[in-house]
Amino acid sequence: MKSEMMKKLEQVAFGRTKPFCYGCYRQAPTGVCLSCGSDDLMRELPGVGVEYGLNWVIEHILREELTPVDLDTEFESSMEGCYADETQIGFIKVNTLWAIQKLDPTAWDMAKQEWIDSEEQEDRILSFDNGSTYYKVEDLESLE
């Protein structure tokens, strides 16, 4: 899934950029600079910049056009409905999810990590930076 999606992002980045000769500071749409004959070309993303390769373009697209998954919020809403909203502890009533987080933050974090792993295994979310940032697969698929 991840390598397929990287391929797709590379295609998107490639399609949005043009070959660019930095020495002559002009586009080279044919892949060879018409001024100097060089084929050692950068990629220009109009209005953004010029640089070698496509990774910077991909990073730009992810940063500007997608919203990373808010894992805390999404996990919490996935837990809603699994338990009663309120739990009686002695003579007080508390919000159940709040109580779990407060009473056993470690268990909460482990459950959250398991949820993240299963979301990733089922191809609903995807990370390109070893789990620092996740994107929704449907958001990635909608890029063009």
Q: Does 113 bind Zn ion (CB under 5 A)?
A: no
42 versus 137: smaller Cβ distance to Zn ion: 42
The residue range among 13-21, 61-69, 91-99, 105-113 that interacts with Zn ion, by the rule CB under 5 A, is 13-21
Q: Does 34 bind Zn ion (CB under 5 A)?
A: no
Tell me, rounded to whole angstroms, the distance of Cα 106 from its chain centroid: 26
Distance CA 37, CA 95 (A): 69
The residue range among 17-25, 51-59, 68-76, 111-119 that interacts with Zn ion, by the rule CB under 5 A, is 17-25
Q: Does 21 bind Zn ion (CB under 5 A)?
A: yes
Q: Does 36 bind Zn ion (CB under 5 A)?
A: yes
Exposed / middle / buried, residue 13 (Cβ in 10 Å: 0-12, 13-18, 19+): buried
* DSSP bridge pairs for 135: 126
CA distances from 56 to 9, 52, 73, 139 (A): 11, 8, 29, 19
Q: Which residues bind Zn ion (CB under 5 A)?
A: 21, 23-24, 33, 35-36, 38
